[in-house]
Each structure stands twice: as structure tokens, then as C-alpha cells.
Structure 1
Amino acid sequence: MISEKDFIFNETLASVNNGSFQWSAPSNIALVKYWGKKENQIPANPSISFTLNACKTITKLDFSKKENKNGFSFDLLFEGKPKEDFKPKIQKFFERIAVYCPYLKSFHFTIDTQNTFPHSSGIASSASGMAALAMNIMSLEKLLNPEMPDDYFYQKASFLARLGSGSACRSVKGNIVVWGNHAEISGSTDLFGVPFSSEVHSNFKNYQDTILLVDKGEKQVSSTVGHDLMHNHPFAEQRFAQAHHNLSAIKNVIENGNLEDFIKIVESEALTLHAMMMTSMPYFILMKPNTLEIINKIWKFRNETKIPICFTLDAGANVHVLYPENVRVETLQFIKDELVGYCQNGQYICDEIGFGSQSLID
């Protein structure tokens, strides 16, 4: 069993003075939701997600050796321009991972990051952003320790990403990723995300996700605050048990291709997430009127056409419309005809299942 201690770097440093890496890492959309966490970004329940393809963060890391090793030294650019308000989050991330990556204090870094999706589009970029940064850090560690096995490289990258943003650990490797201990998922752990190891039914190959941007404004409640609301929540224990049950069920569905059961589990999980927020103290309603209009339109369209589309939601108002590739034409026509009018400025993003992070510099 892997423990946190296994990720502490204690090798002899190879001689490295400067260099650069660049990685992309995608966002992901949870099918069984993670909501509630313990100390050190440990999830209160397991989750499973589709890795996306088009919605991703691209981060370049330049590094150069420095004399003073007393603290962290970095510049942060967003889309090529200094972004001072992002720096405290990176500082906090470095502080969290310092025990596992002590070499960070030996270098000055320039972190240059950008998203492929529009800024303030209402898509959480912390998962893709922290995953991309973790991949770059692990590339540096690989340079310092060339004998590092690939499995360890990706496990530690996911482990580090988790310490920046919990769901970021699901953006490192794999098209379907499980995070959190679960009795039926081989190799699953609270420490990092693992690729879904069972055979994936052809129904879920190239699965589509069209993201309807209902509200692009600032989050009404931050993820950290939202997760904390699960402490002493009256329905917390039932929710955590439900997540374990639904993960078992969706594992079977991904293997056998039953789209009807997939829809039931995914939509139930989305509504449960919002029910948890509506029944916490303090309580929040993060859906907007247009979110509900879209959900009802999807239900009506599915009942009338028998086309197996469904929705899921993050902790916000935007709607992810999920559907198999073989109904893409009909579904996109429906979205254009019936749903775009409920999106802010008519904006939506077409995406599909992807495969995780990718190195952009050899």
C-alpha cells in the first residue's frame, strides 16, 4: 500500500542549472461527485470522472538555479502577462508540497499559463491548472532523478495536483479516472487518481460533453467553503454511502454499456450535489432559472426522441450535456434549436472525452 511518505524526494540531486518544460492538462467532469473532504485534501467519498479534451490549461515552466535556498521564488504570468492575484494560491501550493519536493527552493521559476477555454467562462480551471503545474514539477524531478519509473511519475503528479485542488488529481492520466478508496476499484486510493482499469464499453468511447454556459460570473460559494459545509451536514453519512453505491453501479454500467442506467446515476448525482448545498447551513442555491429550463428541455427531448442524452452539473449553474458520439448530429441540432437561448450570450463549448495531460516540449 502506497503512503504519503513514498512521495518524499530524498534522492541525491543531479546537477541541473536551468531549463523549461511545457504541459497541457485537461479539465474533467465528475460523474459520481466528490463533495466533502478531510484534512490534507483527502476526499470524504470516492469519485469518478470523464477527462475532457478541448478544455485544458497549457503551462510552461522555466527554471534556473538560485543561490539562496531559504524560500520559494517565482514569477507568474497568465496569457503572457503578470497575474499577481494568482500568486498566493501558487505560494500556498508550494508550501503544501515542499516536504515532497524540497528541491523547489533551489530554483527560481517562471510559470506562464493559459486556458484554451474563455476566461471567466464558468468552467473551473483549478483542476486543469494545478494538474498542468504538477506535471511540470514532476518533469523537473525526473531530471533530478532520471531513474524514476513512469508509474511513479504519474502517481506523484496526481498526488501533488490533489494538494493544489482535489479534483486536479483526476486530470493527470486516463480517459475515465477514479479518486478515492473503493472496494471494487483495483488500486484506488485517497492519495491520487487512478485510470479506470476495467474494459470500457464501446458506448462510452468518444463520449461527448457540450458545456452550456448559463452563468459566467464569479462562483457564489468557493469549492473550499462548499466542501467544508459537509462537516456536520445532517445528510453527510447517507451521501457518502450513496457515492460508494453509485460508484459500484456506474462501474458496471461503463463495462456493460447500459445507457439508461448511466443516465439515472449521472443525473441523480448532479441533483444530489445541489441538494447537499441546499440543505447545508448556511445554504445555497447555485442553479439559475435557466439551469432548470435546460434540464426540463433535456428531459422532454429524451422522452420524445429516446435519444440517450443527459445532464450533469458542477457546483454552479452551467450544464454539461453528455451523449454518445453516434447521436452527435441530432443532439447538437437540439442544443442549437432549444438550449442556446438559455446560455449567457449564447455561449457553449463542444468537448469530448480525452486522455489526460500531455507534454508539449520534448
Structure 2
Amino acid sequence: MKEIRFLANTKQKSIENGVTTWSSPSNIALVKYWGKRKEQIPENTSISFTLNQCKTITNLTYTKKEDNLNFSFDVFLDGEKQDDFKPKIEVFFNRITPYLSFLKDFHFKIETKNTFPHSSGIASSASGMSALAACLMSIDKELNPEMNSQFILQKTSFLARLGSGSACRSLEGDLVVWGEHKSIVNSSNLFGVKFPFNTHNNFKNYQDTILLVDKGEKQVSSTIGHNLMHNHPFSQQRFVQANQNLEKITAILQNGNLDEFISLVESEALTLHAMMMSSMPYFILMKPNTLEIINKIWAFRKATNSKVCFTLDAGANVHVLYPESEKDSVLQFIKNELVVYCQNGHYICDNIGKGLEQL
């Protein structure tokens, strides 16, 4: 499947070298995407909060080379060369070559850094691939200056998806939908779109404190987990449930019902991990301290009538979500009762962000 509108333009300017830098945030899904078809097409619609502090900053230096037979690039994370990253980026380059014809014309130096631990369930692939896609689109814009900003944003999201599905949800804020859904006008399986409705004031500047239960690399990659949905006995029911929940949360985000928000978001998190535990082969990404934190949140909410809740990504870390109006009380609760369950006492205070930024 080739998306014609994004295919590379053969009539381009000529450039010899340059450098571009972008930062892109991670995102945390409220309705989860788990399971995909070929070409990184999601089996169900998802929606996410765009984060602010948890981001990847990528500096891309490009230099024209003599031949255009192969890809040529080096990857650095925090200043250290990372040859382990090269196979994934080569797969990405192969996928996007029909849309960016210049990829074999340059040698690329990709220098990247995260503001959070890599490969620990904070969607580093989402922020990393969206930042890299934005850098590549800067080159495409230089070669094809007639492109308008809306087209560039859409194509960047399209390319980012081909690197990591959830990366297409990191470009804008504060809520982004990915996947075709009848409730969301112009929604698409090919790229993320900004949530098209006004959100209730309850969700303005919503807070996300990420408790780092386990900063190590995940035992099972998200790619493997997604693939296990192909023969999963409950996959079809899950896809239906997720699309129904997308419709429900569309209303909740507009009417501001925090109790319904809590129920849906926590159910989505637990369902995601239930699908992992009932795959074949099965696996568990939660840790004992993940469960301790969840139970503490439930007890605190019952005792105080707080609107704090949790969600989980495909990992052990816990995203503690709460309204800005409860910031002081929830942070005190986290320091008093939850930090003890974090690896080395580490956590990240974050909130809803705006998406990509050129530096």
C-alpha cells in the first residue's frame, strides 16, 4: 500500500549539507492500541495525552555523498555510538523511501537524547521516531519549499507511524487520535489527528507523574506483543471494546465527568496487560511494585475522594494522572506513600504538552 499524496516529488532543489534539530514528546494512551496489521495499521482507534517533559531531542546532520546505492548513517544516544539502533532505523528508512527519495543521497549523523530512561515503558520509540521524522521532513521541506505547514505535519505523522505506530500521536497536543473512527471527523489509520472537540476545563493542563518502577529494558518488546494479537483468542472482542471506549471517552473529555474518566482509563490499562497475560506465549510486564502502587492509589482515592487515577503503558511504570487542582495533595501523597516503590526513588513530574518543537 502506497499513500499517493505523500509520495516523493522527483522535481527537487539540490542541497549539499545541513543540520536540523527537533524535540518531540512521548505520549500516554488513554484508550490503548494493541495489535496492528501490515504497514503499521492499527487494529483499533486510540487516543493519547501528549506529554511535555518526557521528550526526545534529535540533531540530524546530513552530508551529500558520491553514490546513492545504500543508506549511510550513524546513530548516537547521549553522545555514545549505538550500532544496536541501526537495524531498526534501516527498517524505517526502507519503509519511508517511497516518500523521501533523498535518503540514499546523504550520510546522516543522528544524535539523540531522551529526558527519560530509554526502553523503560515511557514510549521512547514514539518520541524518538517522531523527532527523527520531523528532522527528515525539514530536509524534504528544503528540497520542496512549496509544501504547506498542514501537509508537512500530516506527512510527518504518516512517516513517524512507519517507524513506531504510537509516534504518530506525538506531534501535536493536547489530545491526539489515531485510527479511523466514526466519532472523529477526518480520523485516519495513516496518521494522528488532533482531538477535534473542546475539552472540559477539568482536563486543562492535566498532570502525569510517572513512577519509575523499573528503568531497565522491557523483557518483551512492544513489536512482539503486538504480533501476538494475530492469534489471540480475545483479540476481536478487544478491538470492539477499544473502539467503543473511544466513543465513550470522546463524550467524557467534553463533559468533564472525572469519575467516568477514571473508570475507563484504569480499565483500559488493566485490559492492555490482561491481553499480554492471555497471549500465547504469555508474558507479564507489571512488577510487584506496580501492583502495590495501584492498590495504594485505590485506597487513597477511597479515603479522600480524590480524582487521581493510574494508567500503564507496555511496561512496569505507572502513570499517575490527576487534575491540576489536585497537584499539591497528590504530589504529597506520591512522596509519602508511592516513592518507596520506585527504583531508586525516581519519578518524573509531567503534564500535557503541545507536541513537536524545532530547536
Q: Same fold (TM over 0.5)?
A: yes
Partner of 2:278: 279
TM-score (norm 1): 0.97
8 Å CA contact 1:263, 1:310 repeated in 2: yes
Partner of 2:87: 88
Partner of 1:160: 159
DSSP-derived class of the 1:185 partner: coil
**Deviation digits for residues 182-203 of structure 1 (CA, Å, limit 9, x no counterpart):** 0010110000001111001111
DSSP-derived class of the 1:339 partner: helix
What displacement does 1:15 show? 2.0
DSSP-derived class of the 1:22 partner: strand
Q: Structure 1's 151 and 105: CA in aligned 2 closer, same or farther, altered over 3 A?
A: same
| CA distance in 2 between partners of 1:260 and 1:338 (Å) | 23
1:75 aligns with 2:74: yes
Give the counterpart letter for 2:249 in structure 1: I
**Deviation digits for residues 110-132 of structure 1 (CA, Å, limit 9, x no counterpart):** 11111112446553311100000
Q: Which runs of 5+ in 1 are unaligned?
A: none
| CA distance in 2 between partners of 1:79 and 1:318 (Å) | 22
Partner of 1:302: 301
DSSP-derived class of the 1:109 partner: strand
Give the counterpart letter for 2:232 in structure 1: H
Give the counterpart letter for 1:54 in structure 2: Q
Q: Which runs of 5+ in 2 are unaligned?
A: none
Partner of 2:233: 234
8 Å CA contact 2:120, 2:215 repeated in 1: yes
| CA distance in 1 between partners of 2:11 and 2:156 (Å) | 20
Give the counterpart letter for 1:69 in structure 2: N
Partner of 1:322: 321
Partner of 1:19: 18
**Deviation digits for residues 161-199 of structure 1 (CA, Å, limit 9, x no counterpart):** 111111111111221000000001011000000111100
Partner of 1:30: 29
DSSP-derived class of the 2:104 partner: helix
| CA distance in 2 between partners of 1:312 and 1:17 (Å) | 46
| CA distance in 2 between partners of 1:358 and 1:73 (Å) | 26
Give the counterpart letter for 2:246 in structure 1: L
DSSP-derived class of the 2:92 partner: helix
Give the counterpart letter for 1:100 in structure 2: Y
Give the counterpart letter for 1:318 in structure 2: N
CA RMSD of aligned residues (A): 1.3
Q: Structure 1's 298 and 182: CA in aligned 2 closer, same or farther, altered over 3 A?
A: same
Paired residues, what number?
359
Partner of 2:212: 213
Partner of 2:61: 62
Partner of 1:292: 291
Q: For structure 1, which segment, 28-37 or 75-84, has the greater mean C-alpha deviation from structure 2 after superposition? A: 75-84
Partner of 1:254: 253
8 Å CA contact 1:122, 1:213 repeated in 2: no
Q: For structure 1, which segment, 69-78 or 248-257, has the greater mean C-alpha deviation from structure 2 after superposition? A: 69-78
Partner of 2:196: 197
Partner of 2:171: 172
DSSP-derived class of the 1:105 partner: coil
DSSP-derived class of the 1:189 partner: coil
Q: For structure 1, which segment, 137-146 or 216-225, has the greater mean C-alpha deviation from structure 2 after superposition? A: 216-225
User: Displaced runs of 4+ in structure 1, greater than 4 A?
Assistant: 119-122
Partner of 1:44: 43
Give the counterpart letter for 2:296 in structure 1: K
| CA distance in 2 between partners of 1:280 and 1:101 (Å) | 37
Partner of 2:111: 112
**Deviation digits for residues 26-60 of structure 1 (CA, Å, limit 9, x no counterpart):** 00000000000000100000000000000000001
Give the counterpart letter for 1:205 in structure 2: K
What displacement does 1:80 show? 2.0
| CA distance in 1 between partners of 2:307 and 2:2 (Å) | 41
| CA distance in 2 between partners of 1:282 and 1:81 (Å) | 35
| CA distance in 1 between partners of 2:73 and 2:215 (Å) | 30
| CA distance in 1 between partners of 2:119 and 2:233 (Å) | 33
Give the counterpart letter for 1:107 in structure 2: F
DSSP-derived class of the 2:102 partner: helix
What displacement does 1:343 show? 0.8
Q: For structure 1, which segment, 197-206 or 111-120, has the greater mean C-alpha deviation from structure 2 after superposition? A: 111-120
What displacement does 1:11 show? 4.0
Give the counterpart letter for 2:338 in structure 1: L
Q: Structure 1's 3 and 246: CA in aligned 2 closer, same or farther, altered over 3 A?
A: farther
| CA distance in 2 between partners of 1:87 and 1:295 (Å) | 37
**Deviation digits for residues 64-103 of structure 1 (CA, Å, limit 9, x no counterpart):** 2122011111121111222111111111111111111111
Sequence identity (%): 66
